[in-house]
Chains A and B, each alone.
Chain A
Amino acid sequence: MIFLYIGLPLIVAALLPLIGRASKKLLPDVLGNGVFLFLLVYGLTGAKSLISAGPVVQSLDWFGETTALKVAVDGFSLFMLAVIALVSLCVGLYSIDYMNHYGSKANYYALLLLMVAGMNGLVLVTDLFQVYLFLEVAAVASYALVAFGLEHDELEAAFKYLMLSVIASAAILVSIAVLFGMTGSLGFAAVAEGLRALNAPGVVAICAALFLLGFGLKAALIPFHAWLPDAHPSAPAPISAMLSGLLIKVSGVYAMTRIFFHVFGLTPALSQVLMWLGAVSIVLAALLAVGQKDMKRMLAYSSISQVGYVVLGIGIGTPLGIAGGLFHLLNHAVAKSLLFLTSGSVQQATGTRNLEEMGGLAKRMPVTAATSLIGSLSISGVPPLGGFWSKLLIIIALVQSREGLLAVIAVLASVMTLWYYLIMQRQAFFGKLNERWAAVKEAPFWMAAATVILALICLGLGIVFSTVITTWIQPAADGLAKGMGI
């Protein structure tokens, strides 16, 4: 019942305000996290066996009558569903404590569930217009979540994010209209077939460019990144984690990848464009991250940079490259959400995000410092953590495809990433304890627990990376390479 991935969060979200009247904090916490836990467990166990024979299409039967609610699952979608469920569970657990002083928890969990339902829907549909529709579902929920604290910064960031997203939506829809006009259908397979029959590379290039504009905006690739460095720092920490860890990847990278691979087919020209866009993002965002004083802003630029790695990996087009890109997607989702959550713990304890005001927090907040260090090392590509393996795969794939320059860029940028993360760690956690923070306490239980879980997963991904790759990444990459055949 893959449809539960969309239906369950939707129904629980709809019921939450009623439940919220009865119980302001406990029941929303339990229900929200319960849904995430269920989706994660289901994804890891039951759903996995579904696709062992290949991609699967499921229709929802409504009282014996088959409806048109078809969802399609292949290795790639299932991989994304698992990543979404994992990160949203940890974010949900973290929110139990963090969102206490924002008020209206039922509303918060409802929006969070709707955002997850939208992302799950995006991953499961096979129709161009529905990709847009669920993208908007997640987006509308995210605007409200970014502005949830109702402070000036949050509202400003949410508004700018909204405006740029409108441009993205327009680009995507115009492209869909042109594709519909050419092929007369909206489903992935039908459009792909139609485009093959028509053979019109010029118009396809225009549509691809429009999709690149639209989804690139959502993924915050440079030069479409302007909204992210404002939105992610201002939003409440768990929402920054959701946005950086999931939303930019699902509504940006996944949508782009799915459409480019299954509808257009990855031509050499498209491959080059993707690789260089990725490379530009990696380098420019890393440079911009170096001078940042605001902890979350540095993390935001780092997100842009790492998404560049994912796009670079996927753009290579070879199985190894795609596997590297997808593995990096997983690593970054886990590590970046971990880092945003720890930054939220720091912000809650000290009241500031300014790195220059912090110092020596490791003495008072050991758990937060340790988990943050693990996350930083993973993203920077330090063995044996997960990020090292994914970056290695991408670099090997680049060398194999004779893209020496890009490989060098990837390696150098990785070194730069390590540098600014070490600066951040030193300024915030290590070194002399700033007297102002002599009395701060470690983060509350659920916040710390969530970060510990994510840190353990970072370690786990690094240690058992080969198992992870064979059971999760390989089917995903195969799913991309083969097409859904529906």
Chain B
Amino acid sequence: MNSTWLLYMFFSLALIGTGIYALLAMKNLIKLFIGIEIVGKGVSLALLATGYAKANILLAQSLVVTFIVVEVCLVATALALIINVTRHTKSLDVRSLTKLRG
């Protein structure tokens, strides 16, 4: 695959990696949500870059549009969970959510 695609994938993976780090290391619930967002950006970039490299940009766009719709629903559910959690624990700290162990 050509180098343009690899360049885009480089940035896409950088975003996904940053997002996953945020998901695993941050303590503020809202920062965790930011992590989810960044992962989403990385994934849509990956999908579109692949379409671009294959000159299939229209197909890739429909995939990205669908993915963004899924992301919005995910975000809405996640935020609803966060708001409910803060009603219970009165805190945005994920450390207060340690009643259950893995």
Contact = CB atoms under 8 A, between A and B. Distances in A.
Contacts of A176: 47
B7 interface: no
B81 A159 contact: yes
Interface string A159-195: 1101100110110011011101110100000000000
A174 B16 contact: yes
A184 B100 contact: no
B50 A163 contact: no
Contacts of A160: 97, 100
A348 B23 CA distance: 35
Interface in A259-307: none
A152 interface: yes
A152 B70 contact: no
A170 B89 CA distance: 29
B58 interface: no
B99 A129 contact: no
Nearest to B78: A162
B23 to A, nearest CB: 5
Given A170-B39, A174-B46, A177-B46, A184 B54 contact: yes
A158 interface: yes
B67 interface: yes
Interface in A194-232: 225-227, 229-230
Interface centre among A143, A160, A180, A229 (most CB of B within 10 A): A180
Given A152-B88, A156-B97, A166-B36, A229 B102 contact: yes
Contact of B32 (A147, A151, A152, A163): A163
B20 A170 contact: yes
Interface string A333-352: 00000000000000000000
A140 B66 CA distance: 15
B42 A170 contact: yes
A159 B85 contact: yes
Interface in A111-159: 129, 133, 136, 140, 143-144, 147, 150-153, 155-159
Interface in B57-102: 63, 66-67, 70, 73-74, 77-78, 80-82, 84-85, 88-89, 97, 99-102
Nearest to B37: A166
A234 interface: yes
A167 B84 contact: no
B99 A153 contact: yes
Contact of A173 (B13, B67, B100, B101): B67
A147 B50 contact: no
Interface string B24-51: 0000010010011001001100110111
Contacts of B23: 163, 166-167
Contacts of B47: 173, 176-177, 180
Contacts, number: 104
B46 A157 contact: no
Contacts of A162: 74, 77-78, 81
Contacts of A133: 66, 70
A140 B54 contact: no
Q: Which of A152, A163, A166 has the most CB of B within 10 A?
A: A166
Contacts of B67: 173
A140 B102 CA distance: 21
B79 to A, nearest CB: 11
A233 B35 CA distance: 27
A156 B56 contact: no
Given A133-B70, A173-B46, A181-B1, A166 B39 contact: yes
Given A140-B77, A143-B77, A181-B5, A155 B88 contact: yes
B50 A178 contact: yes
Contacts of B43: 169-170, 173-174, 177
Nearest to B32: A163
A170 B16 contact: yes
A178 B1 CA distance: 10
B68 to A, nearest CB: 12
A155 B77 CA distance: 11
Contacts of A129: 63, 66
Contacts of A158: 81
22 contacts: A136-B74, A140-B74, A152-B99, A155-B88, A159-B29, A159-B78, A159-B97, A163-B32, A166-B36, A167-B20, A170-B42, A173-B43, A173-B67, A174-B13, A174-B16, A177-B46, A177-B50, A180-B50, A180-B54, A181-B50, A226-B102, A229-B100
Interface of A: 129, 133, 136, 140, 143-144, 147, 150-153, 155-160, 162-163, 166-167, 169-170, 173-174, 176-178, 180-182, 184, 225-227, 229-230, 233-234
The 6 closest A-B pairs by CB, nearest first: A230-B100, A226-B102, A181-B50, A156-B97, A177-B46, A177-B50
